[in-house]
Structure 1
Amino acid sequence: MEQILSRQQASEAVQDHGWRYLLGTLQTSALVGTLAQAVSVAADAVAVCGDDADRHLRIDVRLDRVVFTLQSLDHAAVTTRDVELARRISATVGKPGLLPEAGTGTGTPRSVQLVEIAIDALNIAGIRPFWKAVLGYTDEAGAEGAEDPLVDPLRQGPAIWFQQMDLARPQRNRIHLDISVPHDEAPRRIEAALAAGGRLVSATRAPAFWVLADREGNEVCVTTWQGRDN
């Protein structure tokens, strides 16, 4: 029987197979040399997933890589079935895994990640319809409340979520990015950002998230699945 997994359960179940848990999904990528090769690798993954492909697997096919994402559409979460499919795909396409030394500045491509946009608001229910309309977004599966996140129905753009404000903060940016990275890659990403002129604003919620800022105070969060409720 298909069961929903906690963040830690999902991460531990696939880490040795070259996948990482990111924002309720499992992801990995395979490097390829041509678009034809990318399409072939994608087709192999679909074939090995069989009838489950349509309800669990998303594939981003590019000239130089193929990115695989697994999540149960019925549960909007990672399940035992997703773990099984991840292991099948790894065995079929040669355990693509995460790209080595991603984000170290050595010229190697970065590994998998997901980006969200966070909007600070005093009245979330009042502004959410605007963002839903102007972006052409829709409700996240299973989340249709007046303050719930919004997602791109084509999964091309970043998800939008709303952070409740108690008081207006006119001297601070009201929209910031959340960069969700593999838990074992976060320290390298933060180190690179600091070396590039950033500063650490807060690490009190690490490893769930670190708050960084550029030289002018614009903030961004580097996030992982760790340090959150299971």
Structure 2
Amino acid sequence: MSEPTIESGWISPAEFHRAPAVGDWRVTATGPQAVFTATSFAQAASLVGPIAAAAERFGVLPDVDVRPEAVVVRVPYRSWDGIPAAAREFAVAVSAAAADLDLTPDPSRAQSIGIYVAQHSEVDVRPFFLAALGYEPFGDTDAVDPLRSGPQLAFNPITGDAARRGRTHFDVFVPADQAQARVDAALAAGGRLVDDSSAPAWWSLASPDNHGVDIASWTDTSE
């Protein structure tokens, strides 16, 4: 049997989704992600071997989170270049293995959480958060957990500077086909719509006591 051809280069989320047989997968802010529900920890763990084999075969470095309820598979962004092209073939192989093991895909559970740390334009707070959280720089403006288990942080100046004031909020990245339902659920739970001018890319919401949350789907569709 001939060796598979490993794709090189980078692709966008839209290009990833145009590949055949990747319907189990969604792209969040941390990269392509699939959730396969399980009936036991042992069943969830049974997918780890096939994931490792596919990772080796296609030259992909995935993150795998095994729980009794499900196994979460991610192809994390390791730079701003995009998604590795070989992630498409990797995703197809993992989905096929999950089906063989009777694991059930549930794309509605795919998500990633980020924290948008707004800062005064004359202050750079990223070094403080890197030190306090044990994070590493990612690009020019972000910070990440070295093991990618904690939320990614983004640092940007706020609009309308006010000294000694921060406007940090949560970014919740969900599949494009789940975003409106998530917004509706948050509003039904007492939230307030602050700005929908960028919808369906993202909606800005506020909690009853005015904590900010953005529900974003653009990571799943961007070209």
Instruction: Label 1:122 to 1:62 Cα distance change in 2 as closer, same or farther (>3 A).
Output: same
Name the counterpart of 1:116: 114
Which residue of 51, 54, 62 maps to 1:48?
54
Alpha-carbon displacement from aligned partner over 1:126-173 (angstroms, at most 9, x marks no partner): 211001100000022xx2x3xx10000011110000121243358x86
Separation (CA, whole Å) in 2 of partners of 1:214 and 1:91: 41
Matching residue's letter, 1:5: I
Which residue of 155, 170, 186 maps to 1:162?
155
Matching residue's letter, 1:181: V
Q: Write out aligned runs for 1:180-199 (5 A).
A: 180-199=173-192
Alpha-carbon displacement from aligned partner over 1:98-139 (angstroms, at most 9, x marks no partner): 25xx5xxxxxxxx01000000111147621100110000002
Separation (CA, whole Å) in 1 of partners of 2:221 and 2:44: 35
Matched pairs, number: 214
Return the TM-score normalized by structure 2. 0.85
Alpha-carbon displacement from aligned partner over 1:174-208 (angstroms, at most 9, x marks no partner): 11000000000001101111111111111011122
Checking the alignment, whether the CA contact within 8 Å between 2:116 and 2:169 is kept in structure 1 is yes
Which residue of 26, 31, 43 maps to 1:37?
43
Answering whether residue 3 of structure 2 is matched by residue 5 of structure 1, we say: no
Q: Which runs of 5+ in 2 are unaligned?
A: 1-6
Separation (CA, whole Å) in 2 of partners of 1:153 and 1:24: 13
Instruction: Label 1:155 to 1:206 Cα distance change in 2 as closer, same or farther (>3 A).
Output: same
Separation (CA, whole Å) in 1 of partners of 2:148 and 2:18: 26
Which residue of 143, 149, 172 maps to 1:179?
172
Separation (CA, whole Å) in 2 of partners of 1:74 and 1:168: 30
Answering whether residue 105 of structure 2 is matched by residue 97 of structure 1, we say: yes
Separation (CA, whole Å) in 2 of partners of 1:183 and 1:84: 22
Checking the alignment, whether the CA contact within 8 Å between 1:119 and 1:175 is kept in structure 2 is yes
Query: Match of 2:83, SS?
Result: coil
Checking the alignment, whether the CA contact within 8 Å between 2:120 and 2:162 is kept in structure 1 is no
Moved more, 216-225 or 5-14: 5-14
Instruction: Label 1:124 to 1:229 Cα distance change in 2 as closer, same or farther (>3 A).
Output: farther
Checking the alignment, whether the CA contact within 8 Å between 1:32 and 1:66 is kept in structure 2 is yes
The alignment's C-alpha RMSD in Å is 2.7
Which residue of 200, 203, 206 maps to 2:199?
206
Q: Identity, % of aligned pairs?
A: 30
Separation (CA, whole Å) in 2 of partners of 1:16 and 1:52: 15
Separation (CA, whole Å) in 2 of partners of 1:124 and 1:191: 37
Instruction: Label 1:118 to 1:20 Cα distance change in 2 as closer, same or farther (>3 A).
Output: same
Q: Which runs of 5+ in 1 are unaligned?
A: 103-110
Name the counterpart of 1:107: none
Separation (CA, whole Å) in 2 of partners of 1:28 and 1:228: 16
Query: Match of 2:105, SS?
Result: coil
Checking the alignment, whether the CA contact within 8 Å between 1:181 and 1:222 is kept in structure 2 is yes
Separation (CA, whole Å) in 1 of partners of 2:80 and 2:171: 23
Give the number of the structure with larger relative contact order, counting CA–CA contacts within 8 Å between residues 6 or more apart: 2
